[in-house]
Amino acid sequence: MIFGYARVSTEDQSLDAQIVALEGAGVERIYAEKASGSKLSRLELERLLDQLRPGDVVVVAKYDRLSRSLQDLLTIVEMVRSQGAGFRSLAEDIDTTTPAGRLVFHVFASIAQFERERIVERTKEGLAAARKRGRVGGRPPALSKERRVEVQRMRDQEGRSVSELARLFQVSPNTIRRA
C-alpha cells in the first residue's frame, strides 16, 4: 500500500498543495496533521507508522514535512525501513526502495542539515555584530528608567497600589511589580 504523509506547522497554513501532490503520486491513504516538525509526538505520523507492513511505501511531498532535523528524519526513515517499507519524497525525487535512492536520500538530508546550521550561524553572527554596534534586539521596555523611578517613588512614598499604578501608567500589574 502507498501511504502519504502531509504536515504543516501552524493552523493558518494549508495542507492542500501537499495533498494534491500526494494524490497525483497515487497515494492510497493520506495521513495529514497540523503540528510542528520539531515535536516528537505527532499523532498522525504515529498512526501511519503503526499501519506499515512489508512492501508498503511512505510518500511525502517534501522530506522536510516528515521532520525538521536530520537526526529525526533519519530515525523516522529507519523506522519505516525496519518495517520493510520504503520512503519516497516527491520534490527531491528520492526513493529509498532502491540503493541509489538511499544514497541520494542521505546526501540530501546531510546538505539540508548543513544549510540549517549555516542559517543559525549567520543569524548569531548578525545579532553579535548588531550588539557591537549598540543595537539590542527584543521588545523595548514598557517603562523608561525615569518612569520606573517614578513608579517606585509613588509606591513607596505615596503608598499607591499596584493596580492603581498599572492604570495610571497604562501597563500591566506585572510590569509595575517588576519595576
Instruction: Read off the amino acid at residue 3.
Output: F
Among 2, 71, 82, 5, CA closest to 40: 71
Sheet holding 57-60, edge to edge: 29-34, 2-8, 57-60, 86-89, 94-95
Catalytic site residue 9?
A: yes
Among candidate residues 9, 69, 82, 172, the one labeled active-site is: 9
Task: For residue 25, give the C-alpha cell.
Answer: 503520486
Cβ atoms of 76 and 45 within 8 Å: the answer is yes
Which residues are the active-site residues? Answer: 9
